Amino acid sequence: MSAEAQPKHRELGLTDSEYDLIVEGLGREPGDVELAMLSLMWSEHCAYKHSKKLLRRLPADGPHVLVGPGENAGAVDVGNGIAIAFKVESHNHPSAVEPFQGAATGVGGILRDIFAVGARPIAVLDSLRFGEPADSQRSRYLLEHAVAGIGHYGNSIGVPTVGGEIYFEPSYEQNCLINAMAVGMAPHSRLTSAAAAGVGNILILFGALTGRDGIGGASVLASAELGDGDDAKKRPTVQIGDPFTEKKLMECSLELLDRGLLSSLQDLGAAGLTSSASEMASKGKVGLDIDITKIPLREANMEPFEIMVSESQERMLCVVEPGKVDAVLEVCEYWDIVATAIGTVTEQPQFRIFNGDELIGELPVPLLVDDCPLYDLEPQAPSAPLYEGGDQRIATDATPADTLMALLASANISSRRPVFEQYDPVVQSRTVRRPEQADAAVLALPVLDVDSGAAGAPVPAIAISIDGNGRRVAVDPRAGAAEAVYECAANLACVGALPLGLTNCLNFGNPEKPHVAWQLSEAIDGLAQACRDLEVPVVGGNVSLYNESPDGPILPTPVVGMVGKLPDARRAGRLGFANRGDKIALVGGFHPSRDGSELAKLHGSAPAGALPAKDVAAICATHQQIREGVNSGAFVSAHDIAEGGIAVAIAECAISGANGLGARVALPAGLDPFGEDFGTGFIVSGTAQDLAGLEVIGEVGGDSLEIEGVLDLPISELSKAHASGLADLLR
C-alpha cells in the first residue's frame, strides 16, 4: 500500500481513535511538530499503553527500596549510606536491523539511565536471544556483531561487563533479543530525580550534538512488527553510539551532581528531547519553554520536528538555578562537553516549543505524558500449540554418556567463553567473581586497598544475576516466569547473597493478539507471585512488545535481573569443585521433569506439557540454607541445578573446578539425570563434617565423572565438549 493513501497520524503509528482523543484534548488539530511529538509519546515504547495496567500487579515495595518504578532506574539500600541503582532495558528492534550499533547504543542508553539518577555505573550484564546458530547464518552474524557492539561500548567506557546469558531458539530467528542491564552505585545523598523543579530555572542540554539519527525510532522500530522486507529502509532510524562522548558525559554528570549544581537530571533516550523534557515537566508538575534555535545541531537544515524527536545518543538534560548556570557550563567545559541553555521552567503545565520568537508548538504536559489511552488486553489461552519443535539433534535412545556430551556441547549449555572473553569484567577493581567462576557476579562495595582484601576486615559486596528461559515460559507462562525469579535468587544464594530487588524486561509478541496477551498477563502474574514469595520488590523495568514476524511471536521471554547483598566477599561462593575428597551433596526439594527441558529440545520436542510444581516454603528455606552454608565457609562450592539437569550441573562443577578434578556420585533412586527443575535444587561440596546432615550423593576425586550405573566419562572429554560447543558454531 502506498504511503500517500495514509493520513499522517496513521503513518506515524497513531490509530484514528487515538487521533480523535488528541484533537479533543487539544481543542484543535495538532500542528506538524505537535503531531510528531504526540505520536512518539503515545507509542507503546513510551506510553506502555498495552502493558501499564498489567505492570501495576508487580509488587514494588520493600524495606530496602529507595527508588521504585517511575524514575530512570530503581535503587535499593545496601547499608553504610550506599545505594545501588539498576535497570534492564531492551534494544531488540534496532539490533535486528543493525546489530553492532543496536546493541552498543542499548548499553549506552541503560548506562545513561543509571548515571541520570546519580549513580556511577559499576557493572553491565546482558541477556541475548538469537535463532539457531547451527542453521542460521543470520543468527551467527547477529550474535557476532551484537557481542562486538556490547563490548565496544562497555569496554570503551570503562564499565565492566560481569555476566549475562545467551539462548538460541528458532522463534528468535527474525526477532533477536538484546537486553542490557546496568548497575550503579551512589551515596544516598547523590540520588537524583528527573522531576523538573523551580519556576524560572534554566534547562540545559549537554552532550553530543543533535542530528537526524533515530528519527522516529520509538514508534517505527520499537512498536511495530519487523520483517515485511523493508528492514533496510528502517536502517536510518538506528542510532549510532559514541562511548567516548558518553564517558566524558558520565564523568561530567557525576561531577555536576557531586558539586550540587543540578536541580534535576534526565537522559535523552527514546523520543529524544520530546520525551525527556515532557517527563521532567510531568514529574515536577511544571511547564517548559524550549527554543529549538538554541540546540546545537550536527547537520544543517533540520526540521523543527526532527530536532524535537531526534534520538541522537549521549545527551543529557538538566534543570539548573539561574545562579548556578555559569558553574555548570564551567564543569562541562572541563570535560569537553558542549552545554547550552535551551529553555526555562514555567508555572503552567504547558510544553511550548519556540523557533526563535515564533511559537511552533504548545501542548499540555498531561496530554503528552498521561492521556494516552491505556488498553485492556483480551487474553485468551491458545487452543492449539503456538510453537513447533525444532530439528532433532540427538536420538531419543542415545546412551546417557552420549546424551551428557551432547547437552554440554549444545548451543544453550556450552561455555560462553567465546562471548565473555570479548568483555572487560575487571575494570573499576571491584570484581570478585567473574563469569564462569560462580553462578552470580560478585562486586566488592568498598574500594579495595592494602588494608582490606584477604587479610583485612569483612568486605561487604553485592551479587548480580540475570535470567530468563523462554522455552519454559512457553510451556507455562505463569510457572515459567516464576521459575525465572526463583532461579535468579538461587544464583545469588550460590554466592551467599540475599536478594534486595529485581528489574525485569518483558519481551513478548504482539499484545493485540489474544494468545500473546494471555502469555503476557500470565507471565506478569507469575513474576508477581514469585516476587512476593521471595519478598523481592520490582524496582523498575522495561517492556518490549511486537517481537513478532510473519512466522509468529517469539517465545514469551521475561528476563529478570536481580541484585543481592552478601556480608563478606572473601567468602563469596564458587561454582567449581576444589578439593579431592570433599563430599558432594544434593540440597533442596528437586523434582525434575522433561517437559520444556534442554534435552526435550534436542529431541526435537515442542515446548509443551507442564512444569514441576513448586513448594515455595521449601524454596525459601533451601535458599537460606545455601546462603548460610556459603557465608560460613561450609560449602566449598555451590551451584544451582538448571538447564540439562543434575548430570550437567555436576559436570559443570567439575569442569570449572580445580584442574581435571572429577567426581563419583550415586543419584537418588529414580532421579532423572537430565530432567529439569529451576531454583529448587543445588549441588554443594565441602568436607564430610561440614556437610553432615545433608543428602550426600558422592565425593570429589579421580579424573572422570562417574554417575553410578549411568555413565563414566573423563573430565578432559567433558571439558572439551563444553568448551567447543559454542566456539565451533561461531567459527
Partner 1 sequence: MKFGVIRFPGTCDDVDAQLAAQRVGDAELLWHRDRDLKGVDAVIVPGGFSYGDYLRAGAIARFAPIMEEVIEFAQEGGLVLGICNGFQILCEAGLLPGALLINDHLKFVFRQVELEVVDAMTPFTRECPPTLSIPVKHTTGRYYSPTPVQVVLKYAPGQNPNGSQDDIAGVVNNAGNVFGLMPHPEHAVDPLTGSADGLRIFESIRTAVGERVRVQL
Q: How far is the CB of 162 from partner 1 (least distance, A)?
A: 11
- In the bound state with partner 1, the residue whose beta carbon lies nearer, of 7 and 187, is 187
Distance CA 140, CA 386 (A): 25
Which of the residues 122 through 181 are near partner 1 (CB under 8 A)? 148, 151-152, 155-158
Residue from 396, 429, 624, 716 touching partner 1 (CB under 8 A): that is: 429
For the CA atoms of 562, 568, 569, 573, the dihedral, rounded to the nearest 10 degrees, stands at -70
384 binds partner 1 (CB under 8 A): no
427 binds partner 1 (CB under 8 A): yes
Distance CA 274, CA 252 (A): 23
Which residue, chain included where needed, has cell 499522517? 8
Which one of the listed residues 9, 50, 91, 639 is annotated catalytic? 91
Residue from 68, 198, 366, 453 touching partner 1 (CB under 8 A): that is: 453
Which one of the listed residues 9, 45, 152, 623 is annotated catalytic? 45
Do the bridges between strand 583-587 and strand 682-686 make them parallel or antiparallel, or are there none, so unpaired?
antiparallel
657 binds partner 1 (CB under 8 A): no
Distance CA 14, CA 218 (A): 13
- In the bound state with partner 1, the residue whose beta carbon lies nearer, of 570 and 594, is 570
454 binds partner 1 (CB under 8 A): yes
- In the bound state with partner 1, the residue whose beta carbon lies nearer, of 461 and 721, is 461
91 catalytic, yes or no?
yes
Residue from 16, 32, 421, 551 touching partner 1 (CB under 8 A): that is: 421
Side-chain-facing half-sphere of 699: CA atoms under 13 Å = 6
Candidates 12-20, 122-130, 452-460, 711-719: pick the segment binding partner 1 (CB under 8 A).
452-460
Which of the residues 80 through 109 are near partner 1 (CB under 8 A)? none
444 binds partner 1 (CB under 8 A): yes
425 binds partner 1 (CB under 8 A): yes
Beta strands in 409-492 (DSSP E): 431-433, 441-444, 461-467
Candidates 85-93, 319-327, 426-434, 475-483: pick the segment binding partner 1 (CB under 8 A).
426-434
Residue from 459, 587, 647, 718 touching partner 1 (CB under 8 A): that is: 459
724 binds partner 1 (CB under 8 A): no
Alpha-carbon distances of 365 from 42, 73, 221, 267, rounded to whole Å: 12, 22, 25, 18
Helix (H, G, I), strand (E, B), or coil: what is residue 327?
A: helix
Distance CA 243, CA 152 (A): 8
45 catalytic, yes or no?
yes
Pattern 303-342, binding to partner 1, x per CB under 8 A?
--------------------------------xx------
Residue from 230, 397, 449, 581 touching partner 1 (CB under 8 A): that is: 449
* Contact partners, residue 590, CB within 8 Å, separation at least 6: 641, 646, 671, 677, 680, 681
C-alpha cell belonging to residue 568: 563478606
Helix (H) or strand (E) holding 88: strand 82-90
Distance CA 303, CA 326 (A): 30
720 binds partner 1 (CB under 8 A): no
Closest of 519, 549, 516 to residue 225, by C-alpha: 549
For the CA atoms of 50, 55, 56, 58, the dihedral, rounded to the nearest 10 degrees, stands at 160
- In the bound state with partner 1, the residue whose beta carbon lies nearer, of 446 and 604, is 446
Query: 488 near 466, Cβ under 8 Å?
Result: yes
C-alpha cell belonging to residue 89: 532495558
For residue 46, which amino acid is it? Answer: C
Number of residues forming the site for partner 1 (CB under 8 A):
40
Residue from 98, 173, 371, 424 touching partner 1 (CB under 8 A): that is: 424
Q: How far is the CB of 147 from partner 1 (least distance, A)?
A: 9
248 binds partner 1 (CB under 8 A): yes
258 binds partner 1 (CB under 8 A): no
C-alpha cell belonging to residue 478: 505463569
C-alpha cell belonging to residue 82: 550506599
Residue from 86, 115, 423, 486 touching partner 1 (CB under 8 A): that is: 423
Helix (H) or strand (E) holding 158: none
- In the bound state with partner 1, the residue whose beta carbon lies nearer, of 333 and 378, is 333
Side-chain-facing half-sphere of 344: CA atoms under 13 Å = 7
User: Catalytic site residues?
Assistant: 45, 91
Residues that bind partner 1 (CB under 8 A): 148, 151-152, 155-158, 242-245, 247-248, 335-336, 420-432, 434, 444, 447-450, 452-454, 459, 569-570
